A and B are shown apart, each in its own frame.
Chain A
Amino acid sequence: MRYLDEYRDSGIAHALAARIRARVTRPWTLMEICGGQTHTILRYGLPELLPQQIELVHGPGCPVCVAPLEIVDRAIEIAARPGVIFVSYGDMLRVPGSRSDLLRVKAAGGDIRIAYSPLEAVRIASENPARLVVFFGIGFETTAPANAMAVWQAKQHDLRNFSMLVSHVLVPPAMRLILGSPTNRVQGFIAPGHVCTVMGFEEYEVLAAEFQVPIVVGGFEPVDLLEAIAMLVDQLEDGRAELENQYSRSVSRGGNQPAQQLMHEVFEITDRQWRGIGAIPASGYRLREEYAAFDAERVFATEEIQVEEPPECIAALVMQGLKKPVDCPAFGTRCLPERPLGASMVSSEGACAAYYAYRRHAAPEVAR
């Protein structure tokens, strides 16, 4: 497929790896933010192609992983109610809440449907006027325009039986948290290419200047990621700290304006709880007051839920680049993709799940 196959070219990948080897003079720790990029890095074995001075650590960019237990419990409670049709992206169904998960609710007779697009939930609502249709609106900035469009269309069509359970999070506040931590180890970032496709990269220029850290907007194929790493290594070796754009075939400085306009029409910034990390101020979206009638948290009065994470889970440290999944004593034993203890084993894009899929038989990292 065009724009995919050529960015998986082995000759170019090896040429980029050679360029990185020729340039690097000392150890550098780099973080990719997005779980999709983590997945590519491990699937294609990029750490093995890179010189040992380059350490890749894996960021919190997996919306399924960081959706807090409280919102998962709320989804489960709403989905189990009679008369409700609960519609979700497939990845959320397996995610364990504190006592159950959506798949078990479905098995017990709950009407839970998997959708590829939020507009399918709008269609289901218009076809089932006697039922309450709830869409589980999770995601980062990439997904926010689509979810905003679903709510906006529901309002245009006066679909009173449609609502959205919103759990939207934003990348820059999480990067700010990592960069501001006294224990931060990350010296360069690969910024998430699809988030920046929507949002542009001005917020990342601010971060690069404020924290004097190089940031390269990167794509999702192995050649994209190796080129982004090469650009970061060039900056670090030159002593520069700038924003550069590797993914220029999709990302512009200002991003997608029509998408941003609709997001701002429907959503407003709010504090959000991140699973495994905790509360981050101004780190997500909620529906604006004008769209309150479509806010599932208001339509369905649910009890305030307080839950504790399993104490053994080190996901918070993994997602801040302080630990690797294999450093966890529960990894691959008490914590498995089928029975995850915490955030980053939950979704296939989480760092722990990606290590489990591709690296659980690899030699220990220290021996590299």
Chain B
Amino acid sequence: MCLAVPGKILEATDLGISRIAKVEFGGVTRQVNLDFVPEAQTGDYVLVHVGFAISRIEEEEARRTFEALRELENGIPPEE
């Protein structure tokens, strides 16, 4: 029920009362409401729950934390 899926904003449109976007999820495109992520722009990834983006994914943070996981896999001790 609290499922939220990451998708990429292809195009954002301001409708006055709401800002909506076309968001792509692995080849499937859906309309998503952007009112809770005013900072999100075309090209950003957002987490989408019941038709609403609830966060903009922090790409730099994701890259940094994922690199630490890759280093763990490759046997390099993570820097503390």
Contact = CB atoms under 8 A, between A and B. Distances in A.
Contacts of A235: none
Nearest to A347: B1
A91 B62 CA distance: 31
Nearest to A153: B17
B2 A142 contact: yes
Contacts of A1: 6, 25-26
Contacts of B6: 1-4
Interface string A58-96: 000111100000000000000000000000010100000
Contacts of A242: none
Contacts of A9: 73
A157 B69 CA distance: 49
A249 B33 contact: no
A220 B62 CA distance: 14
Interface string A117-136: 11110000000000000000
B47 A194 contact: yes
A192 B1 contact: no
Interface in A96-150: 116-120, 138-140, 142-143, 145-146, 149
A99 to B, nearest CB: 24
A197 B35 CA distance: 15
Contacts of A149: 33, 35, 52
Contact of A145 (B54, B66, B72): B54
A227 interface: yes
A123 to B, nearest CB: 11
A195 interface: yes
A332 to B, nearest CB: 23
Nearest to B56: A250
B1 A139 contact: yes
Contacts of B66: 6
B58 interface: yes
- Report the contact-size class of chain B (Cβ under 8 Å from the partner): 35 or more
Contact of B58 (A194, A248, A258, A347): A248
B50 interface: yes
B50 to A, nearest CB: 5
A212 B20 CA distance: 43
Nearest to A120: B51
A142 B26 contact: no
A249 B58 contact: yes
Contacts of A2: 6, 8, 45
A269 interface: no
Contacts of A195: 2
Contact of A146 (B49, B57, B70): B49
A117 B55 contact: no
Nearest to A258: B36
Given A12-B69, A197-B4, A349-B1, A256 B17 contact: no
Nearest to A145: B36
Contacts of A227: 69
A277 interface: no
Interface string B45-80: 101011110110111011001100110110000000
B78 to A, nearest CB: 10
A35 interface: yes
A359 interface: no
Contacts of A182: none
A19 interface: yes
Interface of B: 1-6, 8, 17-18, 25-26, 33, 35-38, 45, 47, 49-52, 54-55, 57-59, 61-62, 65-66, 69-70, 72-73
Given A139-B1, A149-B35, A194-B4, 9 more contacts: A15-B72, A19-B72, A89-B50, A139-B2, A149-B52, A156-B17, A194-B3, A227-B69, A250-B55
26 contacts: A2-B8, A3-B45, A6-B66, A19-B72, A34-B2, A35-B2, A61-B2, A63-B1, A63-B2, A89-B1, A116-B50, A117-B50, A118-B50, A139-B1, A139-B2, A143-B1, A145-B36, A146-B33, A149-B35, A153-B17, A192-B2, A194-B2, A248-B65, A249-B57, A256-B36, A259-B36
